[in-house]
Structure 1
Amino acid sequence: MRRGDVTRDDGTWTGLSLDVRDRHRPGLCVFSAGPRLLLSQQARPVLLALVDEHLDGVDFWRTDEYRSCVPPLRADTARALAGSPERWAHRFAQYLAGSPDGPLHEGRWLLTCESPLRRLRHADTPHAEYGGSMLVDGHPDGYIDWFFHSHAWEILPLRPMPDADDSRVKAYRKQAREGTLPPVLVWRVSGLDCHLILDGHARLAAAIAESVEPPLLQLHRTVPRDDLAARIDEAVGSYEDELARFAELRAVHGPTVPDGAATAGPRLARLVHDLNTGERPTWAWPLPGGEDRWHRVAREVTAGQDWPRT
């Protein structure tokens, strides 16, 4: 896997690009059978989901089979990397690349601290209130509401959130107060229109309990390398065409006409940055056995309960 830092024009670090090769199917894999989804980790069902026929939301059933690909984070490591999302991104990239249980597959990915989850909070809304409102409730079953939370990209834990007095949460609450809390690693899954917590359930619970903004690193697919190069070439061509158009105008009307660089240049920079960081839909593989297999797995993990009730 090749890694590369992504920065803005002013040098501000915005993310870490991960170019993954020779990994055709991930260990943590989304399978689909029509409107039915199965998130599986190796052979273990982690999450079953059914998209509402009216596209109002998703019914889900969560098992207790998810295992994080990130090992326990030591307090001394948290202090050493505190306040540096860039260094944390490189650390998490090592874990993701080295684990057979993660979501990475062939293609280009981005680990970024610029998650929309951080931009949606109103300034007068306490972090505890906002963080709690973004969590999808329900265990083992629940509902991701696309009607009231359209494009809000809620957070779906892959295991039950621990209580505020849990021993791990208490330890992280101290780090939250000190400003050394490690980031929560989330994965943007477009088929669910939400973020799944890959690692950091207790850290997020600690941030909510202390009403502080949780540090986040979001993982999502982005434009593949070959496609990126072609689209950047296309953008550069459009930029050159725009400058040529202004040059023709200057030739006719004189130097009072601007050369166009003041508008075309920033537009090109924004486009290249967006191409470098923009989200692409999450890949899903056809579920072997189709809907029959999905229903069979549902009966097994729910012990024959009447789910989904549709």
Structure 2
Amino acid sequence: MHRTNLTAANDSASWVGLSLELQRATEPGLRPEAANGNQIVLSQGPHVVLSARIDDDRGGVAYSRTDHYRSPIAPLRATEVRAVSERGQPSWYTRWAHRFADALEASPIGPLHEGRWVLSRRLAREGMARTGDGPARPWRSLLLDEHPDGSIDWFTGSWRVVPLRRMPTPGEGRVKAYRKQAREGILPPALLWWFSGLNCYVVLDGHARLVAALAENREPAVLVLSRAPSGEQTRTGTDRALSAYHLTMSVLDGPHPVTDRQGAARDASRLLATQLHHLAVDYAPTRAWPMPAAHRPGLGTPRV
């Protein structure tokens, strides 16, 4: 796996994500499957962990979870957590991103397959560009913790967070340990995965850490795994951004006077940097595989 640290568009010292590029062709252990244009299954090895059906009017999706999901991340040891200091700083997120990347690369039950991925702080939702810096209140409405069944209204409920297993209670032993870490300011981030089939995030790892942060009225820190735009999409977007930039500069360098040419040129350069940055970190659609007959409703018994 080739890794590249990504920095902010206009601040090379600010870490925003980790680019992961996998060359080998492999079918992931955690794998979305689709059929008939409206049926979705999330399988992990031989088991179904989530099944969903998109509404006929394409206005939302109903889903049901099983109790078979297993995290691809091994439990985090307390000594390891305490060794990663400076919570909330870019270096703290960077270290946890590399830790999660190591685990995902080695795991046979994770979602990685060939192509480019990004692990970032970016929770793509209006008004919530980054996480881990505020109180818990905005997060309470994001978490869809009904179990086992739930639904998402895409007109009002997109970009929310779907656990892949039953959420623990605030009083459970492991949650109590995480609550202590939250009070000390060292609670590790949860790991989310952008799942475009649901138009929401799913929780890959950190169900108990999310509960602990909310129980202590702290906004959870998260890292988001997402597929990145393909090389062809990136090249096309880059060409368009450069063409627009060159056109702007040609106008500024033309025979007609321009008010505050220096400021306009600076704005054009910042816009170009922002557009190129978005091409590196934007979410791409989640890849899906054909659904086996055994997973299709009415065609067999799901392997659960």
TM-score norm. by structure 2 comes to 0.88
Question: What do residues 144-164 of structure 1 show as CA deviations (whole Å, max 9, x unaligned)?
Answer: 232432x3x111111100000
Correspondence 1:242 to 2:258: no
Contact 2:194 2:201 (C-alpha < 8 Å) held by counterparts: yes
Q: Alpha-carbon deviation of 1:283?
A: 1.1
Correspondence 1:195 to 2:192: no
Task: Mark the CA change 1:61 to 1:179 in structure 2 (over 3 Å): closer, same or farther.
Answer: same
Task: Mark the CA change 1:118 to 1:146 in structure 2 (over 3 Å): closer, same or farther.
Answer: closer
Q: Distance in 1 between matches of 2:40 and 2:148?
A: 16
Q: Where do 1:1-310 residues align within 5 Å?
A: 1-8=1-8, 9-10=10-11, 11-33=13-35, 34-82=37-85, 83=87, 84-116=92-124, 119-120=127-128, 127-149=135-157, 151=158, 153-249=159-255, 252-253=256-257, 258=261, 260-289=264-293, 293-296=295-298, 299-300=301-302
Where is the helix percentage greater, Structure 1 or Structure 2? 1
Aligned positions, number: 291
Question: What do residues 30-76 of structure 1 show as CA deviations (whole Å, max 9, x unaligned)?
Answer: 00012010000111111000111122321111111111110110112
Question: What do residues 69-108 of structure 1 show as CA deviations (whole Å, max 9, x unaligned)?
Answer: 1011011211222311111001101111111111111111
Consecutive unaligned residues of structure 1, counting only runs of 5 or more, are 303-310
Q: Distance in 2 between matches of 1:71 and 1:144?
A: 30
Contact 2:41 2:295 (C-alpha < 8 Å) held by counterparts: no
Task: Mark the CA change 1:199 to 1:231 in structure 2 (over 3 Å): closer, same or farther.
Answer: same
Q: Alpha-carbon deviation of 1:128?
A: 4.0
Q: Distance in 2 between matches of 1:112 and 1:93?
A: 11
Contact 1:23 1:105 (C-alpha < 8 Å) held by counterparts: yes
Partner-residue secondary structure (3-state), 1:248: coil
Q: Distance in 1 between matches of 2:248 and 2:204?
A: 44
Q: Distance in 1 between matches of 2:300 and 2:60?
A: 19
Q: Distance in 1 between matches of 2:105 and 2:165?
A: 22
Q: Distance in 2 between matches of 1:256 and 1:190?
A: 44
Partner-residue secondary structure (3-state), 2:229: coil
Q: Distance in 2 between matches of 1:156 and 1:58?
A: 12
Partner-residue secondary structure (3-state), 1:134: coil
Contact 2:227 2:285 (C-alpha < 8 Å) held by counterparts: yes
Q: Alpha-carbon deviation of 1:235?
A: 2.2
Task: Mark the CA change 1:293 to 1:217 in structure 2 (over 3 Å): closer, same or farther.
Answer: closer
Letter in 1 for 2:29: G
Q: Distance in 2 between matches of 1:223 and 1:108?
A: 8
Letter in 2 for 1:37: I
Partner-residue secondary structure (3-state), 2:246: helix
CA RMSD, Structure 1 to Structure 2 (Å): 2.3
Q: Distance in 1 between matches of 2:248 and 2:126?
A: 35
Partner-residue secondary structure (3-state), 2:297: helix
Contact 1:2 1:20 (C-alpha < 8 Å) held by counterparts: yes
Question: What do residues 241-271 of structure 1 show as CA deviations (whole Å, max 9, x unaligned)?
Answer: 321222123xx54x86726522211110110
Report the structure number with the largest CA radius of gyration. 1
Q: Distance in 2 between matches of 1:298 and 1:55?
A: 25
Q: Which moved more, 1:58-67 or 1:259-268?
A: 259-268
Task: Mark the CA change 1:147 to 1:117 in structure 2 (over 3 Å): closer, same or farther.
Answer: closer
